[in-house]
C-alpha cells in the first residue's frame, strides 16, 4: 500500500530582510517533496538555515540534487572541503583566503552558481562565523535617484582583484598565476527572470567601466557598505551539523577571521544555475 504523506514546509523568518530557519526533519527534506517550496523560499529569503541536520556527504549531495542539481566544484568533485589549511587544500587554500571578505561565489562564471550549501564539520575555536547579506532587499531600499544613477553600469570582475585583498604585495609569479584565472564584465544591477533586481558586488569587483579610479571606488565601496549594513545581513554562528543554503546570485557572504591552522572544516556543494547574469 502506498504511504500517504503530508509533509509541509515548516519555516520561520530570521530577520525581516533576510533569512529563514527550516525546521523539517532530514527525512522530510530528503523525500524531495519539499524541494519546490524550498527553492521558492530560498529566492524570497536569500539564506536558509537547517539547524543540526548532521548530513553525511552523500546526503548533502542528494539534497543538492533534489533542489535542482549539483554543479561540479573547482576540481570536478561534487563536494568541496572548505579549509584554509594548506595540507588539506594545497594550491586552493590561498584563493580561499578571499572568503574572509565579502564576495559572491564564481562571479566570473558565464552562468553564475545559483546557490551554495555549507555544512559545518569542524568549527574554529574562535571566529569562523559566516555572514550573509541580501543584495536584493538592499537594492530595493536604495533611493530611486541612486537606482537611476547606477542602473546600466557595468563592472569588471577578476579573481586577481580578490587576491589583492589578502595578498596586497604578491610576487610577479603570483600575480601572473592569478591573472590567468577568470575575468568578466557583469552588470552592477542584474535583473533576474523573476523580475527582481539585485547588486553584484564583492571582492572580485575591480572597477566600474567608464568611471575614473576615484569615482569607481566610491560607487563600489558605498554600495557594499549599504548592502552589508545591519538590516540586510545575517550572521550564522555555527553548531556542528548545521547546513546553510544561500542564493548566490542575490547575496554576498564572508567568513569572519579564524586561524587557518585551527582545523575548521566546512563541506560545500553548489547548485547549478540556469540563468546568465545578463538577460537578453
**Residue from 39, 70, 89, 116 binding ligand OGA (CB under 6 A):** 116
Tell me the three cell numbers of residue 173: 609569479
**Site string (251-280) toward ligand OGA, x via CB under 6 A:** --x-x----------x-x------------
- Residues 82 and 96: their CA atoms lie apart, in Å, by 8
| Vertex 251: Cα angle to 192 and 37 (nearest 5) | 65
Q: Nearer Cβ to ligand OGA, position 142 or 252?
A: 252
Q: Nearer Cβ to ligand OGA, position 100 or 155?
A: 100
The answer for residues whose C-beta is within 8 angstroms of residue 188's C-beta and 6 or more apart is: 150, 153, 154, 155, 199, 200, 201, 208, 219, 223
Tell me how far, at minimum, the Cβ of 26 lies from ligand OGA, in Å. 21
Q: Is 99 in the site for ligand OGA (CB under 6 A)?
A: yes
**Residue from 105, 114, 120, 142 binding Mn ion (CB under 5 A):** 105
Q: Is 247 in the site for Mn ion (CB under 5 A)?
A: no
Tell me how far, at minimum, the Cβ of 243 lies from ligand OGA, in Å. 12
Number of chain positions touching ligand OGA (CB under 6 A): 10
Q: Is 66 in the site for ligand OGA (CB under 6 A)?
A: no
Q: Is 49 in the site for ligand OGA (CB under 6 A)?
A: no
Q: Is 118 in the site for ligand OGA (CB under 6 A)?
A: yes
Q: Nearer Cβ to ligand OGA, position 105 or 242?
A: 105
Q: Is 105 in the site for ligand OGA (CB under 6 A)?
A: yes
Q: Which long-range contacts (CB under 8 A, 24 or more apart) does 176-183 make?
A: 181/108, 182/107, 182/108, 182/109, 182/157, 182/158, 183/108, 183/156, 183/157, 183/158, 183/159
> Judging by DSSP bridges, how do beta strands 197-199 and 130-134 pair with one another?
unpaired
Query: How many Cβ atoms are within 10 Å of 124's Cβ, its own excluded?
Result: 19
Which of the residues 196 through 235 are near Mn ion (CB under 5 A)?
Answer: none
Distance (Å) of CA 145 to CA 73, 151, 192, 208, 279: 40, 10, 21, 18, 23
Q: Nearer Cβ to Mn ion, position 38 or 115?
A: 115
Whose CA is closest to 86, among 260, 269, 245?
260
Nearest residue (beta carbon) to ligand OGA: 255
Return residues touching ligand OGA (CB under 6 A): 82, 99, 105, 116, 118, 130, 253, 255, 266, 268
Amino acid at each position: 500500500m502506498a504511504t500517504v504523506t503530508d509533509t509541509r514546509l515548516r519555516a520561520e523568518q530570521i530577520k525581516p530582510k533576510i533569512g529563514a530557519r527550516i525546521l523539517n526533519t532530514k527525512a522530510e527534506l530528503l523525500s524531495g517533496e519539499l524541494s519546490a517550496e524550498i527553492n521558492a523560499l530560498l529566492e524570497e529569503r536569500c539564506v536558509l538555515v537547517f539547524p543540526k541536520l548532521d548530513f553525511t556527504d552523500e546526503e548533502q549531495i542528494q539534497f543538492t540534487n533534489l533542489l535542482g542539481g549539483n554543479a561540479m566544484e573547482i576540481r570536478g568533485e561534487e563536494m568541496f572541503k572548505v579549509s584554509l589549511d594548506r595540507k588539506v587544500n594545497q594550491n586552493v587554500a590561498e584563493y580561499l583566503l578571499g572568503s574572509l571578505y565579502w564576495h559572491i561565489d564564481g562571479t566570473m562564471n558565464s552562468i553564475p552558481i545559483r546557490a551554495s550549501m555549507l555544512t559545518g564539520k569542524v568549527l574554529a575555536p574562535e571566529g569562523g562565523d559566516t555572514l550573509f547579506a541580501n543584495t536584493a532587499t538592499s537594492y530595493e531600499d536604495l533611493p530611486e535617484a541612486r537606482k537611476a544613477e547606477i542602473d546600466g553600469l557595468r563592472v569588471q570582475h577578476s579573481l586577481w582583484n580578490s587576491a589583492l585583498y589578502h595578498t596586497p604585495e604578491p610576487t610577479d609569479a603570483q600575480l601572473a598565476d592569478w591573472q590567468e584565472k577568470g575575468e568578466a564584465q557583469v552588470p552592477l544591477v542584474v535583473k533576474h527572470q523573476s523580475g527582481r533586481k539585485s547588486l553584484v558586488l564583492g571582492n572580485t569587483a575591480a572597477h566600474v567601466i567608464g568611471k575614473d579610479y576615484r569615482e569607481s571606488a566610491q560607487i563600489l565601496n558605498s554600495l557594499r557598505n549599504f548592502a552589508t549594513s545591519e538590516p540586510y545581513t545575517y550572521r550564522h554562528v555555527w553548531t556542528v551539523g548545521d547546513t546553510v543554503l544561500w542564493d548566490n546570485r542575490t547575496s554576498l557572504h564572508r567568513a569572519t577571521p579564524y586561524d587557518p591552522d585551527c582545523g575548521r572544516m566546512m563541506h560545500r556543494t553548489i547548485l547549478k544555475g540556469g540563468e546568465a547574469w545578463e538577460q537578453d
